[in-house]
Amino acid sequence: MSGGLLVAGTTSDAGKSVVTAGICRWLTRKGVSVAPFKAQNMSLNSFVTREGAEIGRAQAMQAQAARVEPTALMNPVLLKPGGDRSSQVVLMGKPVGEMSARGYHGGRQAALLDTVVGCLEELRSTYDAVICEGAGSPAEINLRRTDIVNMGIARAARFPVLVVGDIDRGGVFASFFGTTALLSAADQELVAGYLVNKFRGDVSLLEPGLDMLLGLTGRRTYGVLPFQHGLGIDEEDGLRVSLRGAVRESVVAPPVGDDVLRVAVCAVPLMSNFTDVDALAAEPGVVVRFVDRAEELVDADLVVVPGTRGTVRALRWLRERGLADALARRAAEGRPVLGICGGFQVLGEHIEDEVESKAGSVDGLGLLPVRVRFAREKTLARPVGEALGEPVEGYEIHHGVAEVTGGGPFLDGCRVGEVWGTHWHGSLESDAFRRRFLTEVARAAGRRFVPAPDTSFGTLREEQLDLLGDLIEEHADTDALWNLIEQGPPAGLPFIAPGAPPAAPTRTKEAL
């Protein structure tokens, strides 16, 4: 069996995903075979593995950091929100039904512990190290009884826990102390120490606080990572509108042509896989922004209607905000529109949905000759093809089955005039195809924009992953981290009062 580590956080978005990826890349550089693992993930940004399993995009990216092929073992439970109170449960890469938050935490989650422990056990039998990512905060004491992703999995595997805190938010010392003090004595035994993320300034000014934290908790800080512009990995929270700075900020070259190209992305409800536009933002001279008002489409050279977990809801939202009429005007004027997955379905003539929204028969925007019927079986695929004379790869995640009745072919979807639609996510990451597509957009928009001839999205992503590895290697105590991974939590860690009442017994796998 291999060693391992659980990267937890004081809050959501503290930097767990970034730190996990950085540790994976650092270990891989050292010749260690390593795998990422997140027992349970809530995200609308997902990916399809080569075996046809749906997992969180963050785990797919972490696998890339580890230079291994992503599999369902790395994210056995994925929750895809369909609203404020329910989610689709994806188990081992396949959807198994919708469930309310109360229903999931009321019993279903605890029943999955054997599954996630089995996946972790299999990874540990294959790799030298497994770096686990927690979810939210381990101090969510109202959910501890059924936890399978934070202290629940750490207890089962006897993994040491590294708690990450975002100092840029403020209150990091209180967050570290409070997170530890709210855990039960048995859980506290596994909390090895802390990692400060997003620090700005002189580290020497922080050191007295780190010394006091050590005195208060008996736990050391394993590193202080500086705030770094241009970092980015695939976000988990598709409910939040955010164009990650990663790819956008990494491009410093001016436009190749005389004009920039403006891309507006409709921020539809339950937006999924908005990472599709990252490859556009990677191009010098392409400006990408998210919009929710019709007037924001006026000066856009390209409008993207992205994927969504609520196609009918997104359609209603577009109409309520006047965006549907704005899209129709664009189509009539021959101005480019691209619909991806749910966005493609919205652009069609008709939707029959007794599965996702259960709304029945609904008229689409009528911009593409497509009729969509929602099937209970989800399509999960990794298609390869050609468009605009260039090779393209992508992935599909959808319940809607499209019947295309006209137009020109486009990535298993269609094109009418300057309106394009496809179910393929990730197609814009194919460099040659992306350049040809942007050339078409620029022509239709009347812009003197020229795509850079040498932009490689894959290379940019690798540079980002190397930057994450650099942060760990240069600003964390890597010898101490390796000792944690190999030896487990330090003995004799003190209890910090008050602690939480002991949780209900959980399965312990001493043999893991």
Q: What percent of the chain has pLDDT over 70?
A: 91
Q: Are 294 and 325 in contact (CB under 8 A)?
A: yes
The residues pairing with 390 across neighbouring beta strands, listed in sequence order, are 387
Question: Hey, what amino acid is at 435?
Answer: R
Tokens at residue 289, please? Answer: 């922004």
Please tell me which residue in 398, 399, 425, 475 is annotated as part of the active site.
425
Q: Catalytic site residue 341?
A: yes
pTM of the model: 0.91
Amino acid at 63: A
CB 283 within 8 A of CB 318: no
At 51, phi and psi to the nearest 5? -85, 5
Could you tell me which residues are beta bridge partners of residue 90? 78, 95
Q: What pLDDT does residue 501 have? A: 73
Residue with tokens 């209603």: 316
Span 310-315, mean pLDDT?
95
- The encoded tokens of residue 412 equal 């298993």
pLDDT one-digit tens code per residue, 478-491: 999 999 999 999 99
pLDDT tens for each residue of 366-379: 999 999 999 999 99
Tens-digit pLDDT profile for residues 93-137: 999 888 776 666 666 766 788 999 999 999 999 999 999 999 999
From 341, 398, 399, 414, active-site residue: 341
State residue 196 phi and psi, 5-degree precision: -85, 130
> What is the per-residue pLDDT across 335-365, written as a single tens digit (0 to 9) for each?
999 999 999 999 999 999 998 888 999 999 9
Contact call for residues 415 and 226 (beta carbons, < 8 A) = no
H, E, C per residue of 459-506: HHHHHHHHHHHHHHHHHECHHHHHHHHHHCCCCCCCCCCCCCCCCCCC
Q: Are 16 and 182 in contact (CB under 8 A)?
A: no
Tell me if the bond preceding 498 is cis, omega within 30° of 0: yes
Residue 422 and residue 331: Cα distance in Å, rounded? Answer: 16
Tell me how far apart the alpha carbons of residues 365 and 360 are, in angstroms, rounded to a whole number: 16
Query: 412 φ, ψ to 5°?
Result: 65, 5
Please name the amino acid found at residue 370: V
Mean pLDDT of 183-199: 97
Tokens of 490: 């330090």
Closest CA to 195 of 134, 120, 143: 134
- Both structure tokens of 276: 């599709």
